[in-house]
Every structure is written in C-alpha cells, then in structure tokens.
Structure 1
Amino acid sequence: MSGAALVWCPFPDADSARAAADALLDDRLIACANLFGSIESRFVWDGARATGSEVGVLFKTTAGRLEDVIERLGALHPYDTPAIIGWQADAAHPATLAWLFGSVSG
C-alpha cells in the first residue's frame, strides 16, 4: 500500500473549482477536495507583475494516483497554464489512509 498525496491548484472562481472537484470525485481519482474562499494571488505573468482573486483547492488522493490527478486536472482546468502542484505526503493517520484507499480507485 502506498501513501497519501496532495494536489494544490487555484481556480478563477468557485464554480470552476467545484466542477473540477466533482469530475475528479466522479472519476474516483480523489477522496476529497477542500475549496478555500477567495484568495489573493500575486504573480508574474508574461513578464509583468499581476494580481487576481482566485479560489484555492487542496485535493486529497493516493500516491499511486497522483500523476493521474495532475493530468486530469490539467485537462479540466479553465486556464491555459494552470498552476497544479502535487506531492506525496510524508505521513498520514492510519484512518485517513484507509479512507483514501477506500475512496480512490486503483
């Protein structure tokens, strides 16, 4: 059994974040998506500093499905260049791992 993994990704609005989360849940690629309220994003784009209001999402999955989540999220995301960052968790509670593996296929 592999461990847990997380994916962080900001979206332009709550509706697009919910749609992506629902698709990943339907595909059984994630067990949960935590949508954060409006966040202020400050970044460099096309050589210029920019700001925007976004909705951040933390997706919970298994390490074995991490790359699948990243790939599917890239296809679902409304941005041409979405910021999708995933990593394997160093540790997780046994009950959390059991829930993840019971919720995520494969």
Structure 2
Amino acid sequence: MTSTDPATVLLCYCSCPDAASAQAIAEALVGERLAACVNRLPAVHSTYRWQGVVTCDSEELLLIKTTAARFDALKIRLLELHPYELPELVAVPVQRGHEAYLDWVRQGGG
C-alpha cells in the first residue's frame, strides 16, 4: 500500500494546550469514527517560534490512528474543534505493524 491508497493506516500527531481540549478532540474523532484510536500523552514540552518569539509550552500530544480514506474528514473536524489558531496535524503512513491491529484501524475500530 502507498500513502495515497485509501486503506493506508496513518499515525497522526496533534498537540493540544490542555487535557480538556485533548480529551474533547479525542472523543469526537473516535465517536464520529474518524479515528479508530487516539492516545493522549500528557506533559509534552514544546519549544517553537510563534509570531517571531521563541515560546515554550506544556502540551498534551494526541497520537491518532486513522486511514488515508478518513484523513480529510478528520482534518476538517480537528480544525473545527481545536483551540489553536494554527493546530499541528502531521500524518505519517504506517509502513509495518501487527496486521490484525492495522485491519482493526482500517475498519474504524471496534
């Protein structure tokens, strides 16, 4: 499978400013079947340049498992829900993994 194949599993990264927004986004994406699973990693420390200033923040990182077929709808929904002006959303195609798990993701979860 290639990253343009609709069945390609994607691992998407998205940082959130706090646990409440991360949980709301995770629940919406899974509840609406745009993602099979979302892991929340608290206490991520991000350093970045924003509007000309180097900034350091504590954030929560979402690891979102979805497919290429669902990515565009997931992106639209995430941008609607996310409190940041410019949310991080990076998708990486999964090259290998436990095939039964990857099939579960392709089916949209349980």
Do the structures match in fold with TM over 0.5?
A: yes
Unaligned runs of 5+ in 1: none
Match runs of 1:15-94 below 5 Å: 15-94=20-99
Q: Can you list the C-alpha shifts for 1:66-93, whole angstroms capped at 9, x where unaligned?
A: 2221221111101111111112222232
TM-score, normalized by length of structure 1?
Answer: 0.89
Unaligned runs of 5+ in 2: 1-5
TM-score, normalized by length of structure 2?
Answer: 0.86
CA RMSD of aligned residues (A): 1.4
How many equivalent pairs are there? 104
Could you tell me the percent identity over the aligned residues?
A: 37
Report the alpha carbon displacement of residue 101 of structure 1 after superposing the two structures with TM: 2.3
Which of 75, 78, 101 is residue 96 of structure 1 equivalent to? 101
Hey, what's the Cα distance between the residues in 1 that align with 2:70 and 2:108? 12
Helix, strand or coil for the counterpart of 1:37?
Answer: strand
